[in-house]
Amino acid sequence: MCEVADTSKPRRIAIIGSGNWGSAIARIIGTNTLKNGKFDSTVQMYVFEEIIDGQKLSEIINTKHENVKYLPGFSIPPNVVANPDIVDAGKDADIFVFVLPHKFVRAACQPLVGKIKPTAIGLSLIKGFDITPGGGIELISNVINKLLNIDMAVLMGANLAGEVAAEKFCETTIGCKDKEAGKLLKELIQTDYFRVVVVDDINTIEICGALKNIVACGAGFVDGLGYGDNTKAAVIRLGLMEMIKFADVFYPGSKLSTFFESCGVADLITTCYGGRNRKVAEAFVKTGKKIEELENEMLNGQRMQGPQTAEEVHIMLKNKGMEERFPLFTAIHQICQGNLPPTQMINCIKNHPEHV
């Protein structure tokens, strides 16, 4: 028999991940759970353990109440408890907030299988795809749903973590099918500077979050080549057209209106101007170094998702013989791989099928 959540008790929250965005969202969740009786005020936060200057990161967070590596300079409320044991962090949770770089999701969540409340729900903040054994792509929320057998919602938006941590106004989009769960998640996340719109078009929200990171690499390439804002705007526009086409072709039923939520155009713009993908892609052109080397040099352990997402998309497009229908995504992947010189980015946008 299906178990039903006991709504008389405050819901317990477990945040799975504690990087740049994980730590920023922990500030919001920690603050909101203290103020709202629907939530237990002790929040568990799973930390992938590492040693910083001889001390465990989880211990630093629990004593200094700051993630000194991934979000330095911002406090994390003391009711957020860093926990390096993911099973212990998740054992009583009613709501899981997943916020890991996408390539770590499967391995990190595996220990949770069979160890969580059957009534728990999940909210994924993770931008990226997974590759299926048949060479297709899978949404990360579906990966988690299949692995842990829990209902999933998603949250994506124009949310550069540093700006959110600094409490600069922004918007975000939650995708949730269940109206009551959507309301509850909004109460967990919304603040006066972080405004939430809930819609039910989950797949499109997640597609937007993943694909905009590819486009941001293209924006970084044209910045690195010394082109101007008009050129970057063309990359953004053509990228948006490919994002819409991608949703149409592979996720029929996607709503165009979702692209006008924060998860769509707004996230595309902010990432193409202020994100890590853009920054590293610009340096890739200017230095000629490999992406991975620059990521290690420039991001202090943080991860950019664009090149890997471009590869995931490319594997699927190639399998389906559809690379030519998505020339921008394809060119960005080939440039990231070193198979095309970055200057080819300009040929790609000059000859884009949108102009024919």
Ligand X SMILES: O=C(CO)COP(=O)(O)O
Ligand Y SMILES: NC(=O)C1=CN([C@@H]2O[C@H](COP(=O)(O)OP(=O)(O)OC[C@H]3O[C@@H](n4cnc5c(N)ncnc54)[C@H](O)[C@@H]3O)[C@@H](O)[C@H]2O)C=CC1
Contacts with ligand Y by CB under 6 A lie at 17-22, 48, 70, 99-102, 104, 108, 125-128, 159-161, 301-303, 305
Residues in the interface with ligand X (CB under 6 A) total: 14
Compute the distance between CA of residue 267 and CA of residue 223 in angstroms, rounded to an integer: 18
Compute the distance between CA of residue 183 and CA of residue 11 in angstroms, rounded to an integer: 14
* H or E segment and range at residue 262: none
Q: Which does 96 bind (CB under 5 to 8 A by kind): ligand X, ligand Y, none?
A: none
- Contact call for residue 164 and ligand X (CB under 6 A): no
Grouping H, G, I as helix, E, B as strand and the rest as coil, residue 186 is helix
Answer for the pair 206, 193: CB distance below 8 angstroms, yes or no.
Answer: no
Q: Which is nearer to ligand Y, 79 or 302 (CB)?
A: 302
Binding residue (CB under 6 A) for ligand X from 27, 69, 232, 276: 276
Answer for the pair 19, 101: CB distance below 8 angstroms, yes or no.
Answer: yes
Site for ligand X in 52-81 (CB under 6 A): none
- Work out how close the CB of 7 gets to ligand Y at its nearest, in angstroms, rounded to a whole number: 29
240, amino acid identity: L
Q: Which is nearer to ligand Y, 148 or 161 (CB)?
A: 161
- Contact call for residue 270 and ligand X (CB under 6 A): yes
Q: Which is nearer to ligand X, 216 or 336 (CB)?
A: 216
- Work out how close the CB of 160 gets to ligand X at its nearest, in angstroms, rounded to a whole number: 5
Q: Which does 216 bind (CB under 5 to 8 A by kind): ligand X, ligand Y, none?
A: ligand X
Nearest position to ligand Y, beta carbon: 19
Compute the distance between CA of residue 271 and CA of residue 217 in angstroms, rounded to an integer: 9
- Work out how close the CB of 1 gets to ligand Y at its nearest, in angstroms, rounded to a whole number: 34
Q: Which is nearer to ligand X, 220 or 327 (CB)?
A: 220
- Work out how close the CB of 283 gets to ligand X at its nearest, in angstroms, rounded to a whole number: 13
Query: What is the gyration radius of the CA atoms in the chain, in angstroms?
Result: 20
Residue with tokens 């212990």: 88
Binding residue (CB under 6 A) for ligand X from 23, 83, 203, 271: 271
Q: How many residues does the chain have?
A: 356
> Which part of the chain contacts ligand X (CB under 6 A), choosing from 1-9, 62-70, 105-113, 270-278?
270-278
CA max distance for the chain: 62
Rounded alpha-carbon distances, angstroms, from residue 182 to 96, 140, 190: 14, 19, 12
- Contact call for residue 216 and ligand X (CB under 6 A): yes
- Contact call for residue 267 and ligand X (CB under 6 A): yes
Q: Which is nearer to ligand X, 97 or 116 (CB)?
A: 97
Q: Which is nearer to ligand X, 90 or 306 (CB)?
A: 306
- Work out how close the CB of 37 gets to ligand X at its nearest, in angstroms, rounded to a whole number: 31
- Contact call for residue 159 and ligand X (CB under 6 A): yes
Q: Which is nearer to ligand Y, 108 or 147 (CB)?
A: 108
Q: Is 260 exposed, middle or buried (0-12, 13-18, 19+ CB in 10 A)?
A: exposed
- Work out how close the CB of 267 gets to ligand Y at its nearest, in angstroms, rounded to a whole number: 8
Catalytic site residues?
A: 212
Q: Which does 220 bind (CB under 5 to 8 A by kind): ligand X, ligand Y, none?
A: none
Per the DSSP assignment, residues forming a β-bridge with 11 are 39
* H or E segment and range at residue 255: none
* H or E segment and range at residue 237: helix 229-250
Nearest position to ligand X, beta carbon: 275
Kindly report the three-state secondary structure assignment for every residue of 273-336.
HHCHHHHHHHHHHHHCCCHHHHHHHHCCCCCCCHHHHHHHHHHHHHHCCCHHHCHHHHHHHHHH
Binding site for ligand X (CB under 6 A): 127, 158-160, 213, 216, 267, 270-271, 275-277, 304-305
